[in-house]
Structures are given as structure tokens and as C-alpha cells.
Structure 1
């Protein structure tokens, strides 16, 4: 078989595979445990390439174009039952996604594979298009979607009881969502009801809102992005937690996140603040973000926070009796490289796996959810 034809076959295969008859949108590579080989996903959603693909789940065999087969656990590519190539490693199913060694892709496509150590990603060019794929350790990819824990964290001689929920955004079918109570802006409801209405595994209270009136419509403060749509405008200074269409997460000032939104990247966003941790260092400066209330500047109280750990891992936290500066220290000790304060006081609440870990003292307007 000519190499050009084989390359064409694998190119179609790379973009056309199905597992269990369902599309899988994994867009990251895996460093395999034990071998330390880098594997990249075969499946990338694309309507550009059209080729018949049949998946035999019992035999773990995919047939491409009614004639070529590649079997998970085998190093062989076959055409009508005859071996046409032996690979030096083999495909593997991880979390229902088929992965192939990046070395084979480089050989078959006759294209150099580059490793970007700073960004921890592989880079290669196909048909003049640059592909960049972030890579994570297999053990991290296989971590559970949600892990709940109560921890004791010491800050300045005081021990804080902290409820935590760790979220693995690399787990299959894991997504973040911003939702408002009763699906109506300005409405309020229990944190649990917001979670249940959207079949969420985890929920934490989010934006500040007008909690001290009985008006039928409560004002929600600062920016919201829901399902890719900006619901409220960004304040340039306030810290903003965002989630992109590619699954990336970050915390930046509103002006920066607005730029990302205008470029079409932001899928969900909440704007609360102040920021607690930046690149692993405590960076609390509420005055610079426009805060003037003693509740933020100095007073202890019930607190909620969202933290970003390495490798697309999140941590949601709820505690009590902490100042914002103490909360920042708690988040750093819990491993957050970046973290942001959320609405606190009676609004503070954390819900996971069908029950409260920390129960809010009032109804709230906005929640950050994990499905």
C-alpha cells in the first residue's frame, strides 16, 4: 500500500472515529502511565471529512471506509484482513476516548511533532493548519469527576474548618455552567433548587446581588456570561472567573475577559472578587478592584471561593469566620494557583452529590454549577 494512501487513511481515521456510537469531544493528549508515551485523541469533531466508520464495541475494532481496521490493544493496521503496518506502540481507550501515540501520527503524516514545554502541549501542522493539543498525565485524566472533603486549615494560629469540592474538568462529560434562580434574571431561590433544576453534581453561590430588599426583581451585580451569551456587562476592574469553549479556565480582570469574550472564546463567566491568589501567590487587593465595604476589607464572616489548580482541576470552598485575607491563605494552602472570592455571608453555600456541605442562610440569585 502506498504511504500516501496510508497517510490519507489515518488522516480520515483521526477525525472520524466513534466510540460506543457517541461523539466524544476530548481535545487533550495523555501521557501514558508506565510507558511515559504521549498519546493524542483520534476523535476530533469535524464535518469536513466524510468517511464511513463502523465501531465494533465487543471486539474493540473500528472499520474505516469498509476496508481498513485498527484494533485497540494491537500494534497492527490491516486492510481487508492483511497487515499493512505494524506500529511501535498501540491505541488505547481512556475514558471512552481512543488515543494513539503521537509518535505514530508524526511518522504517518510525515510531519514533525513539536513539544512545547512551557505550555505543556504538542504541536504539529497538517495541510497548512497548526494543531495544538494540551497534554495531561493519565492518572490525572482518570481522577473522579467530583471529590468531597472537609479539611482543617491553619492560618495565623487559627484553625478553619473548610468544606471542599474538587472537580476534574478532564473527566468525561464534565462541564461548567452559570445559572440564575428559576431561570429568570433577578429571581432568587435555594442553591439546591438551582442545582436540581439543571441536574448539576456541584453548585456554589456566585455573584453579589441585592439581598436586603423584598423586591420581586433583585439586582445582580457585575458581569455574567451564560451559554456563550453576555447577560450583563463587564466591570473593567472586578475579577472574573471564566470558562472557555475549549475547556480552559482562568481568572482575570473584567477588561481582559471582555476581550476574550469579544473574540468568541468565553462560554461562561461570573464577576465577583476580589482576587485572592495569582500564579501561586496571595494577591489580595480589594481596594484596587473598587471594594469599600468592611465586609470585604476587614471583617470575618462566612466565605465562598473558587480556586484553579494545575491541570484543569478546580476546587470550590466554603468556610466561616474568615477574613478575605485569611481566605486567600486557605486557598493557597489547598493548592490553588489562582483563586477568587465569591459572595459571602448568608449567601455562602456549597452543594455536592445531592446534599448541602454548607447551607446558605438565604436564597440566592446566581450559582456556578458542575454537570
Structure 2
């Protein structure tokens, strides 16, 4: 079944890593969230040109001022949200935000002086431009136009508006939305972690998902379900900086068709269906707001129309910063999955919207979970392992697979 998306509006050597983002249904009130926020970011597709102030970056993100804790939203995402319309006067650097005939606000970039329905007011924070977008104070927009803003601390995101037009945006510290360059946005390390008295040397690549030049793709071998291809070939074909093997597949059949096991979504289209499968799924939207969800939640999440990519594997390794492995709940039946050691691949998400891709040799699933926790993952899951385990970075293998693979998660930097 193919379906098109709808309603779219993203310790040896060092070079640094940090903690995660993912998914929860518990949302925090606006006032409380402004006090306890962390950092993170990336988000939705651009609004109409009238809402754009300058050349739009690839992603939208709510920015936080580290000193005050105040939040700012890109003005371009407001168009059409709860009836809001934006007009931009480039010569005066002035924004007019209207909600029908009821409320009109006029704001000036760099000025705390504003007008609401013709009456002068003083803003707590001035609008500003950063990374190709104009940002306005979220508290002002929320209170003036009665725009709901719900904070999800676990996911590092903000949900704006109500009904079908709601947007979910990542949040990040101010200054973090600018492109940092590939050398800082994508970092490769060879590290050693100690688990239960044993040392594991791993290959690890950490990617800043909020960087506007970072993009993800769930790629199929030969661009076709059921084919296999060398990981390096797949990576080079898509001009990837990073590639890691993806979900399980039928590697041992003599048939030409080697079926992948689990949901696969690429470009908003469902490429592989796995109804009833309980294993963990890695998903992301067009702004690379990423999360890990149970297999049972896939249909509802996909129906929302914002899923850009997805890859199902499992088992889950880390939940909210704690090791959490429950193979029976995910439908794994082989008892050796917990006790057997071997080549492993895993992915993790940090609280500040970084993606950790990691390969290790000889680890059991519980040991891999501890490794991912130590690596800084706030959420993490296992990928296909054994001879499939492979990690490609910057034109060469960090870990070379022992066979051709069915699918991969790839990272490009454009």
C-alpha cells in the first residue's frame, strides 16, 4: 500500500555529544513550560511567501532566550493558524498580524513598541531576525490572539493552535537555528564505554537535527522494497554524509525478493506495511522533529499527515533517559535476543534534538542499552545487527557490514 502524506505545513577521541528528544502525550501549560524548558529544534514546512521575512531556512523552530526563558515563534508559521494573517513591510521591517476584523497587531523588528487595535503597548521582548526568519514573542501572540500553546518537555516541542490546523514545532536555544557547518553539525567519534566491568569500543556519529542543512531519508536498496545493496553504494547514490543499516529483513532466502520486516516510510509515503507489529518505530517530520513510538501507535501517527520518514526495528533500549528493555512487549520471541552478543547497530535521540548513530561489537541487548544511555541518548532503540550492522561516514566505512542490506537511514548535508 502506498499513501501520500497530507496536511503538511522535518573514551578515546572526542568531538562532543549530548542528550535527546522524542514523544509523549503529556503536554505542559505555557507558563510552566517557559520555566522548565530545555533546548532543541527544527519544525514545519514554510508558510506562504507573505509570511516570510527573508530567505527561509529549511526548518521552523521556536527559539528560547537562555537568560529570560522567553520563547519566540517564526512569524511565517502563523499564517492561517487560528485565522491569523501576516503582512510584511520590508522597507519598514514591520509586521502586521491580523485575526479577522477582531484584532490587529503591528510590530517592528528590533523595537519593543507595538500597537494592538491602534493602541500603543510595550512588549517585554522585541521581534528579531535569525537564520532567515523573523521571530515574534510567543507569549504576546498567545495572549493577544488567544492562541493555545502547549509544551511537551519530553519531545522538546510546542503545539500551537487548535483543531486540524495545529502545528507542532521543536524548540531550541536562540542562536542554535543557524547553520553551524558540517564539521559541527555532524560529528564522528570512536569511543569506549564500560558496562558491568567490560569495555566496549564503539563507532559513533552524532547529528544535530535542528541544523537547517541536515536532512534525513529512509532509503531502500535499489529504491525498491525487497532488493539489497551495499551500504556504501546506497550512501553514495544519495550523496549521504552518514548512513546506518536499518530494519530487519529476510537475508537468508534464496529468492530475489528479500522482504524487510516492519513499517518503512520515505518522503511521506508508506513503502512497507507491518500491521499488528509491536516493535519500536523511529519517525520524523519535515523539520526533523524525531521520536520513537510503539508499533501499535503507527496508524494514528501516520494518519496525522506529518510523518516524513519512519523505520521500524527494536527493541527499545532507553526511555526518558533510563535503560528500558521489554522484548516480550514488542513481540520478540527468541530468548537469545537478551543473552546473545554480537555486532549491534542502534540509534538514539538526545533532549536537544541530536541523533546518535552507533555500532558496537559483542554487546548483548541490555549492554547496548547501557551504552546508548552513556552515549547521551534520552530515547534509543536497536536496529538490525549481526552481518547487517554497518556505519558509513564521510565516504568510508566506520563499521563495514558483512552483507548487502535492505534499507538504511541516511543523513545528507546540503
TM-score (norm 2): 0.71
Q: Which residue number corresponds to residue 233 of structure 2?
A: 193
Q: Which residue number corresponds to residue 75 of structure 2?
A: 42
Q: Distance in 1 between matches of 2:299 and 2:253?
A: 30
Q: Distance in 2 between matches of 1:128 and 1:179?
A: 30
Q: Distance in 2 between matches of 1:112 and 1:225?
A: 32
Q: Distance in 2 between matches of 1:282 and 1:36?
A: 30
With over 3 angstroms needed to count, the CA separation of the structure-2 counterparts of 1:41 and 1:14, relative to structure 1, is farther
Q: Distance in 1 between matches of 2:269 and 2:59?
A: 23
The structural deviation recorded for 1:139 is 5.7
Corresponding position: 1:244 with 2:285: yes
With over 3 angstroms needed to count, the CA separation of the structure-2 counterparts of 1:136 and 1:208, relative to structure 1, is same
**Mean Cα displacement is larger for which, 139-148 or 337-346?**
139-148
* 3-state SS in 2 of match to 1:336: coil
Corresponding position: 1:145 with 2:185: yes
Q: Distance in 2 between matches of 1:18 and 1:55?
A: 7
The structural deviation recorded for 1:122 is 5.8
The structural deviation recorded for 1:206 is 0.5
Q: Which residue number corresponds to residue 97 of structure 1?
A: 133
From 258, 271, 275, the counterpart of 1:231: 271
Q: Deviation per CA, 1:262-318: give whole Å up to 9, x if none.
A: 343432111112221222222223244333446623221111001121132211111
Q: Deviation per CA, 1:82-121: give whole Å up to 9, x if none.
A: xx987554333333333223345357x4547766475766
With over 3 angstroms needed to count, the CA separation of the structure-2 counterparts of 1:333 and 1:204, relative to structure 1, is same
Corresponding position: 1:32 with 2:73: no
Q: Which residue number corresponds to residue 285 of structure 1?
A: 326
Q: Distance in 2 between matches of 1:270 and 1:121?
A: 21
* 3-state SS in 2 of match to 1:266: coil
Q: Deviation per CA, 1:162-198: give whole Å up to 9, x if none.
A: 1111122211143321111121222221212212212
Q: Which residue number corresponds to residue 3 of structure 2?
A: none
Q: Which residue number corresponds to residue 15 of structure 2?
A: none
With over 3 angstroms needed to count, the CA separation of the structure-2 counterparts of 1:15 and 1:157, relative to structure 1, is farther
Q: Which residue number corresponds to residue 336 of structure 1?
A: 377
How many matched pairs?
A: 346
Q: Distance in 1 between matches of 2:151 and 2:404?
A: 46
With over 3 angstroms needed to count, the CA separation of the structure-2 counterparts of 1:112 and 1:180, relative to structure 1, is closer
The structural deviation recorded for 1:348 is 0.7
Q: Which residue number corresponds to residue 275 of structure 1?
A: 316
CA contact (8 A) 2:343 2:385 kept: yes
Q: Which residue number corresponds to residue 346 of structure 1?
A: 387
The structural deviation recorded for 1:141 is 4.2
The structural deviation recorded for 1:134 is 4.3
With over 3 angstroms needed to count, the CA separation of the structure-2 counterparts of 1:130 and 1:265, relative to structure 1, is closer
CA contact (8 A) 1:15 1:42 kept: no
The structural deviation recorded for 1:70 is 7.7
Q: Which residue number corresponds to residue 205 of structure 1?
A: 245
Unaligned runs of 5+ in 2: 1-46, 97-105
Q: Which residue number corresponds to residue 307 of structure 1?
A: 348
From 355, 359, 363, the counterpart of 2:400: 359
From 2, 13, 17, the counterpart of 2:52: 17
Unaligned runs of 5+ in 1: 1-11, 79-83
Which structure: larger Rg? Answer: 1
RMSD (CA atoms): 3.7
Q: Which residue number corresponds to residue 298 of structure 2?
A: 257
CA contact (8 A) 2:78 2:85 kept: no
Q: Distance in 2 between matches of 1:369 and 1:154?
A: 28
Q: Deviation per CA, 1:230-275: give whole Å up to 9, x if none.
A: 2222242222222234633222221211221234343211111222
